[in-house]
Structure 1
Amino acid sequence: MADPSYSIMTSSPPRGTKRKAEEMVEPRRIRALHEDVVNKIAAGEIIVAPVHALKELIENAVDAGSTSLEILVKDGGLKLLQITDNGCGIKKDDMPILCERFTTSKLKAFEDLTSIGTYGFRGEALASISHIAHLTVTTKTAESSCAWKAQYSGGKLAPLKPGQSAEPKACAGRQGTQISVEDLFYNVPTRRRAFRSASEEYAKIADQVGRYAVHCKGVAFSCKKFGEAGAGVAVPANATVRDRIRMVHNSAIANELIELEVSSQMFGFKADGLVSNANYNGKKTSLLLFINHRSVESSAIKKAVEQTYAMFLPKGGKPFVYLSLEIDPARVDVNVHPTKREVNFLNEDEIIELVCDEVRERLGKVDTSRTFMTQSLLGGGKTPTISKANTIPEDSDAQPVSTTNRPGSTKAGTQKPYENNLVRTDARSRKITAMLPQAQNPSAPSRESTSDGIEYIYTDKEPTTCRLTTIKELRASVREDMHNDLNDVYANHTFVGIVDDRKRIAAIQGGVRLFLVDYGLVCAEYFYQLGLTDFGNFGTLRFADPLPLRELLEIGVAQTRALEDDGSGEFDWDEVVPAVEQQLMSRRAMLAEYFALEISEEGELLSLPLLTKGYTPSLGKLPNFLLRLGPHVEWNDEKACFQSFLRELASFYAPEVLPGAVEGDDDDVASRRITLNRAVENVLFPAFKSRLVATRALLKGTIEVANLKGLYRVFERC
């Protein structure tokens, strides 16, 4: 009897099984794949689901100049996917090669890829569909006296019925083209079994049709299920974009849209669209993005838009955005994804920034009524009510809105909000610092004052656009390191007060949670990001009397030596000042151009970069800042140089540590403490809400100390 283990070891492995190295007797021969296998592989990359097949067919129909598209779907597009248009049609002579790979009327030479102005151009869509479905095409041109019908299989003409000729057959028909895709993935059973339900696939198809129905002005769209009388999507040709959004989505969105328009000759683009205002609040972001009239996806644009809206919408609120970007075709590469779902274009960061700035400006100018939940915190313990702030006059006949709920006036069915979910949003509510008696510090300046007592001079200098790849990479690394939950806290926080200015700790409220924040650490990160954002466009903090650079460096050496010198004599401090001075003097031009740090030929410090209005860094830290620019900046590598210099600049701008407040404090220290605390509350923390990207590094500087819901649970147990 044969040993079964021996038979298992010597039998050839099944097809597709990985073979171990000791089993490889000799290398296997390399063979060319069969053409049918190649075509099915290509079809699997382009036609992933019925919705992708429909997207290709819609784009071909619009390219043909159609003004009406009728779409019929059966079993989510797996059984039948039919699209009928009234475009220019296909000539009979072109039908034999219609479904062969790489046959197209859009390209002639490779150079034409740099100026693509149509949806399709590779000639792969119909070819791919014909390899994984039964494809039938009926078409008629304006010059033809009849329509022509043909069936395709594997990219070639196939007979309509067994025994008949494969040549196109004459038939009755109207001008345009009708394409029927039946039994999609019939010969790829694994792919077909992967689809969970027909209704889910139809929902994807309806969403795709809705996107093009909104964008393609002058084109009528109709999409319905097979056997149903009514259409799921129906848009007439003469509808405006706003009306198309109303028909495809709903009136709640269409009524809250504002127009958007921005362009730039420098970056060769223009953008227009409709975006929701601050009154609309969706559960998820709806982004209808078109680049050169092609429906695409972009995580970078979506993330930037959500960040922009975070300042205007309540926590968790998402916007609706329809955006159409027209970019010079020479700057766009559309051939980067098999389904053309993504595109690459030049100056992506700059274009996104311009679009988001325009969105932010338009949202800030919207003059309409807003509704907020308010809570009375002092006295009375009234039930939170809805207050309506109107910035436009209402009808004279309208009744005033009551801001309090009297007993017994609550409508039936209205639920009382739970107190553990309430958040203070009333700007009139008093802060902790307002409860302190003013008599303790009669010389304290008014909190209503926003002036920092410094005169600012505006120049007509044009802002420069940063095209340095290293700066773009550093900006991208900040975005990639963003912590979403923490970013929401800082973007929507309420400043409570400074807890300890000696340890640089402040308290903020985020939703129903209370946090202690190391604002020294947060400021260092904020000013670093500000340096990246405004790179090459800093303001200037100019000295009335230039400061001698060498003397500043000598002071910095004396300070550092007093703290770090261990008395061993191993380090020669006398060489530090000349070495650092030589480094800074040799790079005066770069420091002035990129960082607004000007040094004269005589070695005098003329100016420092001004990062933000209303806040001036402590000049007591200036000697140490200049000294650290020598050993702590990597001058020989561009990216590392910019990163390390901006880190040192951010450390210089971070608020200094002040000694603890005691009786009989020096007047200068007391005045500096008052000025610094005002800047932290009125300048820096408001800036965090609008411009800070909270990275993971800030997690160690942000500690949650109280949660209203958690406190309620404790009291309930008591």
Structure 2
Amino acid sequence: MDIDEPRASGGAPVPKPIPEAPRRIQALSSDVVNKIAAGEIIVAPCNALKELIENSVDAGSTSIEILAKDGGLKLLQITDNGHGIDQEDMPILCKRHTTSKLKTFEDLSSIGTYGFRGEALASISYMSHLTVTTKIKESSCAWKARYAKGELVPMKPGQTAEPKPTAGRQGTQITVEDLFFDNPNRRKAFRSASEEYAKILDVVGRHAIHCSNVAFTCKKHGESSMGISVPANASTVERVRQVHGSSVANELIKFEVSNDRWGFKSEGWISNANYSVKRTTLLLFINHRSVESSAIKKGVEQTYATFLPKGGHPFVYLSLEIDPRRVDVNVHPTKREVGFLNEEEIVETICDELRSTLGKVDSSRTFMTQSLLTGPKVPMNKSTSAGDNTVSEQEERRTQSRSVAKTSTKPYENNLVRTDSKVRKITSMLPPSLPGQPSSSDAPDEGETRSDDMEYQHSDKQLVICKLATVKSLRAEVRANIHNELADLFSSHTFVGIVDERRRIAAVQGGVRLYLVDYGMVCNEYFYQVGLTDFGNFGAIRFNPVLDLHELLSLGAAQEKAMADPDDDLDWDQVVQDVKEQLINRRAMLEEYFSLEISKDGELLSLPLLMKGYTPSLAKLPQFLLRLGPQVNWTEEKECFQTFLKELANFYVPEVIQPPPTAPADGGSVPTEDPEVAARRNHLHRAIENVMFPAFKARLVATGGLLRGVIEIAHLKGLYRMFERC
């Protein structure tokens, strides 16, 4: 078969491309290297400003003035009254890696200044036209110089590049003009000057709140009004008021926490439960650097979810001081992030104190209330005695007539939200229990002694801080899989009642929506998370008398054998023996990590306690122990912990109990129910309502996998619209 060769427009064959020779590795020129480095550090005008503000604070300034034009792209000027720069240092001021704050690499372990790499001014000089005017206290005049690509350049053509004497006050003024003038692609990427100016105000506002005894002003070029103006003697709350307004400043409470074990202390101001906005405002400073931390932000948001309405977010200013030896400051080109040891433990300590602080002031929360009384309220003067007629009958009648004349707005019932789970439950609409049996929906009165209550004793076991990387990794996987809408639902839900015991379905209310929840699935996820968070610190359910492990495993094998394929020739006696030996051989690890205590003689002494007020079904114990053999990966650490905790969570999931017997249709006698089954049902009902669902509200991290177990069945506003058509 002939193949036509491609031809050019003139008819001649197109020559085949000559394959390129392999490219050789070569060193980049210093100019290219410096521009690449500068582009990583100075990403936007706000990044350049952050570096300049940090230099001014490091110089001991008490007043910092910022001027911006076109969002900082045309002009960005910062003036301070700090120590200034010596004239002899000006020739190397903008060279890369020139700094007065660091001499050896070991100094990074104790660095206490904002800047340390000596790349801020060098990077800016590669991205803009940079002018520096500075004066130290001992100098009789100020000195002015211009820089380009890290080097001194003449102020005007034909002049020398040396710094020129000029009039000026003590301190430094740095003028950045035409930022990204030689990088048009990046300059075009900025949306608008107003958006970049808003980012500049955010940077200035953060430092204005944190840097006490330093005055800050920021304004646009050509305008007389200030975008931000904070005096030097203003308190932290007043600084917040100047930057973010009175609505948040009036609702701030002091926050302090420290821990010598983890080598940190933290203080700041946080909003109480009366204040909420659509987006979290977190001003985080670690060792006085403005940084970001997704772990701290997520922990703060989850903590506040219990106190704020759905969709509400807090304002938090947090200054965290950590031992410099525990902090790695050199992990991000723009110093936006830092790394520090024991991050998870520090975040957990902060969130615990945050929860405690908010709980102490939660009584100050204000709500909009609606009176449902039909008659008008008449105010009573409590200071008036029975015999003191300070208010005449005529005045009293006038007061009543004014009260009646006021038009009251009728509340729309489709907007009412259930706030008291004790008023009425869905179980009150179900058929009544048999004569002589207590209703499962009736909660016992406070102080009532329950026959199935367990006695708890405190042991002298010390709290163990989990440092295993595998457990921390499993915890991080749970947090990364959080589903925000479900998290809002479970953190603010109201329990309605158990709907179906056989399918383990309960009803909960979130706002004006009604949901059905598979509480078996939710319990499985919750107990798995408890296993991760309390790893190594479980309580213990002790058996007296102790149980024989071999008998329990044999009972579990008999249950499995009854459900297995009759043609299966598995040697169940050998399975029992293998699992028993496996558990005994690993009894030290099981006792240390999971409080599952087994004697060397094969006696089961205790089980892990995951929740007070609820006892798992011991009928599931034989199968739980038997499954620990084949279902747990004992060879890999991470898989071992994960699979064991999943089996433990499955053991703790409430079992399915058949509903109480009812009278037959033919009118015969009512079957008698086993009293132990009835008592177990009552225990489960009380635990589900009063123990489990409150625990879900406080501790559950609702993951995306729970979407299959939650379904919305009613929306009150939608139902009202439907009924209004009838």
TM-score, normalised on structure 1? 0.90
**What are the within-5 Å matches in structure 2 for residues 554-703 of structure 1?**
554-564=554-564, 566-662=565-661, 663-703=671-711
Provide Cα deviations, 1:315-352, integer angstroms capped at 9, x if missing partner. Answer: 01100000111111122112111111111111111111
Tell me whether 1:447 sits opposite 2:441 in the alignment: no
Provide Cα deviations, 1:233-253, integer angstroms capped at 9, x if missing partner. Answer: 111112211111111111111
Which amino acid is the alignment partner of residue 585 of structure 2? Answer: S
The aligned residue for residue 274 of structure 2 is 279
Tell me whether 1:431 sits opposite 2:430 in the alignment: no
Could you tell me how far 1:708 is from its partner in structure 2? Answer: 2.2
Could you tell me how far 1:596 is from its partner in structure 2? Answer: 0.5
User: Comparing 36-45 with 544-553, which one deviates more in the overlay?
Assistant: 36-45
**What are the within-5 Å matches in structure 2 for residues 154-553 of structure 1?**
154-366=149-361, 368-373=363-368, 409-410=406-407, 419-426=413-420, 429-434=423-428, 443-444=438-439, 446-449=443-446, 453-553=453-553
Could you tell me how far 1:550 is from its partner in structure 2? Answer: 1.0
User: Comparing 351-360 with 66-75, which one deviates more in the overlay?
Assistant: 66-75
Q: 2 CA distance for matches of 1:259 and 1:322?
A: 10
Could you tell me how far 1:372 is from its partner in structure 2? Answer: 2.6
Could you tell me how far 1:135 is from its partner in structure 2? Answer: 0.6
SS for the counterpart of 1:304 is helix
User: Comparing 230-239 with 27-36, which one deviates more in the overlay?
Assistant: 27-36
Tell me whether 1:52 sits opposite 2:47 in the alignment: yes
Change over 3 Å in CA distance of 1:57–1:635 after alignment to 2: same
Could you tell me how far 1:230 is from its partner in structure 2? Answer: 2.6
Conservation of the 8 A alpha-carbon contact between 1:225 and 1:232:
yes
Q: 2 CA distance for matches of 1:271 and 1:369?
A: 24
SS for the counterpart of 1:523 is helix
SS for the counterpart of 2:116 is coil
Q: 2 CA distance for matches of 1:708 and 1:8?
A: 76
Provide Cα deviations, 1:159-193, integer angstroms capped at 9, x if missing partner. Answer: 11111110011112111111111111112122222
Q: 1 CA distance for matches of 2:191 and 2:168?
A: 36
SS for the counterpart of 1:167 is coil
Residue 122 of structure 2, aligned match among 107, 120, 127: 127
Could you tell me how far 1:283 is from its partner in structure 2? Answer: 1.7
Q: 2 CA distance for matches of 1:37 and 1:441?
A: 89
Q: 2 CA distance for matches of 1:679 and 1:166?
A: 81
Conservation of the 8 A alpha-carbon contact between 1:375 and 1:424:
no
Which amino acid is the alignment partner of residue 512 of structure 1? Answer: V
User: Comparing 655-664 with 75-84, which one deviates more in the overlay?
Assistant: 655-664
Q: Highest Rg: 1 or 2?
A: 2
User: Comparing 24-33 with 69-78, which one deviates more in the overlay?
Assistant: 24-33
Conservation of the 8 A alpha-carbon contact between 1:504 and 1:519:
yes
Considering only aligned residues, what root-mean-square deviation do their CA atoms show, in Å? 2.5
Q: 1 CA distance for matches of 2:548 and 2:422?
A: 49
Percent of pairs with identical residues? 67
Q: 2 CA distance for matches of 1:409 and 1:433?
A: 41
Conservation of the 8 A alpha-carbon contact between 1:263 and 1:271:
yes
TM-score, normalised on structure 2? 0.89
Q: 2 CA distance for matches of 1:289 and 1:81?
A: 25
The aligned residue for residue 37 of structure 1 is 32
User: Comparing 482-491 with 44-53, which one deviates more in the overlay?
Assistant: 482-491
Change over 3 Å in CA distance of 1:8–1:154 after alignment to 2: farther
Conservation of the 8 A alpha-carbon contact between 1:256 and 1:280:
yes
The aligned residue for residue 19 of structure 1 is none
User: Structure 2, unaligned stretches of length 5 or more?
Assistant: 1-6, 378-398, 662-670
Q: 2 CA distance for matches of 1:276 and 1:640?
A: 41
Provide Cα deviations, 1:239-294, integer angstroms capped at 9, x if missing partner. Answer: 21111111111111111111111111221111111111111111210000011110
Provide Cα deviations, 1:88-130, integer angstroms capped at 9, x if missing partner. Answer: 1111111001101111112212222222211111111101111
Q: 2 CA distance for matches of 1:427 and 1:371?
A: 20
Could you tell me how far 1:448 is from its partner in structure 2? Answer: 3.2
User: Comparing 88-97 with 363-372, which one deviates more in the overlay?
Assistant: 363-372
Q: 2 CA distance for matches of 1:189 and 1:569?
A: 74
User: Comparing 441-450 with 657-666, which one deviates more in the overlay?
Assistant: 441-450
Provide Cα deviations, 1:352-386, integer angstroms capped at 9, x if missing partner. Answer: 1110000000011116432234578xxx7989x9x
Could you tell me how far 1:463 is from its partner in structure 2? Answer: 1.0
Could you tell me how far 1:500 is from its partner in structure 2? Answer: 1.1
Q: 1 CA distance for matches of 2:367 and 2:11?
A: 79
Q: 2 CA distance for matches of 1:7 and 1:508?
A: 80
Residue 138 of structure 1, aligned match among 130, 133, 137: 133
SS for the counterpart of 2:101 is coil
Which amino acid is the alignment partner of residue 630 of structure 2? Answer: P
Q: 1 CA distance for matches of 2:37 and 2:76?
A: 20
Provide Cα deviations, 1:209-251, integer angstroms capped at 9, x if missing partner. Answer: 0000101111111111112223211111122111111111111
Conservation of the 8 A alpha-carbon contact between 2:433 and 2:660:
no
Could you tell me how far 1:407 is from its partner in structure 2? Answer: 6.8
